[in-house]
Amino acid sequence: MPREDVAAHFGLDVMQQVRVDPLGPGCPAPASHGAPRMTGQDYDAIRPFLYPPVDALIERMVPHIAAHERGETVLWLTVDGAFWYPRRLFGIQNHFYAFFDHPGLMHRMNQDLADHSIEVIRRVGEVFTPEFVTFAEDMSYNHGPMLSEAMFDELLAPYYLQVVPVIEEIGSMLIVDSDGDVTEMVPWMERVGARGVLPLERQAGVDGMAIREAHPEFIMVGHYDKMVMNRGEAAIRAEFERLLPLMRSGRFIPSVDHQTPPGVSFEEYHVYTRLFAEYAAIGAQR
């Protein structure tokens, strides 16, 4: 069933994400994630293909903005973050080495990215205000962050501190998109102006209530255990009951992370959305 038909069936507004890709058309791309190596000369070679003009992005957004202005959709903007982006260029393994071997090149990449993101965000702010802006990062796994706090402060924080004020300047806010257990990273995010995190993966063992108690103003999205969705209504309801105290604390929207598992039937998903509406109303009664 098409997404729009599913939304109509369940009475849901369609959420739209506008993704900004700093890799422009024709950018040389390896068969796997990142290049087999990346030096300053390599970066110079692909630099003409990076950071494409903003006009095409704005044009692509026009129908989504119209739907947003009619109140038919939630619309948010996503740009690459200062962890995610160098990883795309270095490759996953080489990216970790680059923190030690090529910090100067990482600074250069992230400054170029910050300059492009600022240009995009200001141009977007001239035509509409996103509900929120996300930095695509994925900085954690199920045992915590994949970088140290010192690495974050040296190689990521300076660029957050440049871009976040521009997000706020257009009337929006930053929510960091990171998988895994982000608990240790929440203070780092708050320090550079991030207002929240998603998708708060239940499978990573993160404890949303512990984060809420330590960080009362932090926004969280996700945390619903999607692995119960094919176990019947009682299990689906029990998971909403588990999340109800967090819902009542405010600044939290329950959702599955990433996508609904393929083993969940249409009928089971219908039960999930029905109970979602029920518990959203209950959770709002604080």
Q: Let me know whether 207 and 242 are in one domain.
A: no
* Total Cβ atoms within 10 A of residue 267: 8
Indicate the DSSP class of residue 74. E
Residue 190's nearest CA partner among 216, 213, 167 is: 216
Q: Which domain holds residue 276?
A: 224-286
Strands (E) located in the chain: 14-19, 73-80, 133-136, 140-141, 144-145, 174-177, 196-198, 219-223, 252-255
Cα distance between residue 206 and residue 224, in whole Å: 11
Q: Let me know whether 89 and 168 are in one domain.
A: yes
Cβ-based neighbours of 44, under 8 Å, separated by 6 or more: none
Q: Let me know whether 67 and 165 are in one domain.
A: yes
The one-digit pLDDT tens for each residue of the chain (286 residues) are 344 443 444 344 567 888 899 999 888 876 666 666 789 999 999 999 999 998 888 888 888 888 888 888 889 999 999 999 999 999 888 999 999 999 999 999 999 999 999 999 999 999 999 999 999 999 999 999 999 999 999 999 999 999 999 999 999 999 999 999 999 999 999 999 999 999 999 999 999 999 999 999 999 999 999 999 999 999 999 999 999 999 999 999 999 998 899 999 999 999 999 999 999 999 988 6
Helices 103-127, 157-169: inter-axial angle, 10-degree rounding: 10
Of 188, 203, 222, which residue sits at a domain end?
Answer: 222
What is the domain count for the chain?
Answer: 2
Cα distance between residue 104 and residue 80, in whole Å: 19
